[in-house]
Chains A and B, each alone.
Chain A
Amino acid sequence: MLLDDKSVYLMRLGDNALVLSQRLSEWCGKGPAFEEDMALTNTALDLIGQARMWLSYAGEVEGRGRDEDALAFRRDSHEFTNLLLVEQPNGDYAHTLVRQFFFDVWHQLVLDALMRSSDDRIADIAAKAIKEVAYHLRRSSDLVVRLGDGSAESRRRMQDAVDELWMYTGEMFNADETEELLGAQGLACDPSTLKDAWLAMVSEVFAEATLTLPEGEWMQKGGKQGRHGEHLGLLLAEMQFLQRAYPGATW
């Protein structure tokens, strides 16, 4: 059923933006420097705006009366379809930054492809979001170079973060039936087609950052199918608390 596939796909895009936005928001007021605090929260703000556009559309296509808020605040962990990468805890600043960089490169490639979607609204949202994501990517790749090719301490932390987060990158390029189907119709992007470009960009930045690309090939997967680690549940507990405790609360 095409409509189901389409809403599933839109929800994935929305969930990625929403969950990463929530993670970044955890840094609010705690950033290592004032400039970084502003950068993290501004990036979170862009992503929450993008999440709203994707989830609103997902809810409309789904046709079950769920709006963006219902989708964000009244689904459980197993119904979230974000990539495992974006739910990983903030860790130290290197983890936050490497997670952001891996995602930004991928996000940019996906949106670039979606700008050519046969679905006008998908293309419009992608064209708007990519301008913001270009800015995210410029900052994260710049910082990866500065901290990778920085002090011995910053380099060690960056390499540790790269090694630990690497196993969450494979999932970004595993196309499932939904993506294959919608990709073939020109509506969505088959993510397996993005892998070479992603790797080329990451390798180029890592070379400049004196970081080593891990060789491990074993990858985690399941986020898109709703199989998450414990971290997502804890994130949602905090994010959804108010609407769960006081359903429909507004101010």
Chain B
Amino acid sequence: MGDLRERSERVWGWLADVPDPEIPVISIVDLGIVREVNWHDEPAGAVCEVVITPTYSGCPATEVIGRSIEEALRERGVERVRLESRIAPAWTTDWLTSEGRRKLSEYGIAPPARRADGRQVIDISGLRRRTVDDAPAACPHCGSTHTEPISRHGSTPCKALHRCLDCREPFDYFKCH
């Protein structure tokens, strides 16, 4: 079993080099979509099972990610790879690693300004109130939190468009989800 754990850790390390196809500055591990790596000793040989969770239901990157994982492991000599997609618990930006948040910010994308805290029960009466809206995003260029949203949707499902009222630069914001 010790060997298996070691092998799993090596796989985690390889997956940490697999970039997210839409935001290549962070890896799929940074994004929190790799949930588990399990080795199974089967009669036909060891199988490496990678459990991933999709971000947004319709995000087209999900299929590309599956292929990237298979390629990355095959390149390193893992012949038998099994991908499992798991939707529960639902992906949340709380699973972004601190490393991932730092890389996003350096790249010019403001990371989520608050925790989603896995809130599954949603208070409908409060939904449309701005008070439940995200805390202000910090401008990735100058650090000011004196910012405002321009558009709730951006170039990918996970982002919105904001602008800084101090340095006047627009920037992408990784939505709290």
Q: Please give the distance in Å from B33's CB to the nearest CB on chain A.
A: 13
With known contacts A38-B154, A39-B151, A139-B152, A197–B124 Cβ distance under 8 A: yes
Chain B 134-164, CB within 8 Å of chain A: the 1/0 string?
Answer: 0000000000000000111111010001000
Query: Is A176 positioned at the interface, with any CB of B under 8 Å from its CB?
Result: no
Contact yes or no, A137 B90, CB < 8 A: no
What are the interface flags for A176-217 relative to B under an 8 Å C-beta threshold, 1 for contact and 0 otherwise?
Answer: 000000000000000000000100010011000000000000
Contacts of B120 in A (CB 8 A): 115, 127, 130
Q: Report yes or no: A45 in contact with B127, Cβ–Cβ below 8 A.
A: no
Beyond the given A124-B88, A134-B127, A141-B127, could you list 18 further A-B residue pairs with CB under 8 A, ordered by the A residue number? A38-B153, A45-B59, A46-B56, A48-B58, A49-B59, A50-B58, A52-B58, A53-B87, A124-B87, A127-B90, A131-B90, A131-B92, A132-B56, A134-B122, A135-B175, A137-B127, A142-B128, A197-B124
Show the binding face of B for A, using Cβ within 8 Å.
Answer: 54, 56-60, 87-92, 120-122, 124-125, 127-128, 133, 150-155, 157, 161, 175, 177
Interface residues of A (CB under 8 A from B): 34-35, 38-39, 42-50, 52-53, 108-109, 112, 115, 120, 123-125, 127-132, 134-135, 137-139, 141-142, 197, 201, 204-205
The 8 closest A-B pairs by CB, nearest first: A49-B57, A49-B58, A124-B88, A35-B151, A45-B58, A141-B128, A128-B90, A42-B153
27 A–B pairs (Cβ distance < 8 Å), ordered by A:
A35-B161, A38-B154, A39-B151, A43-B153, A45-B56, A45-B157, A46-B57, A48-B57, A48-B58, A50-B58, A108-B127, A112-B122, A120-B88, A127-B89, A127-B120, A128-B57, A128-B91, A129-B57, A130-B122, A131-B90, A131-B92, A132-B57, A134-B122, A134-B127, A137-B127, A139-B152, A204-B125
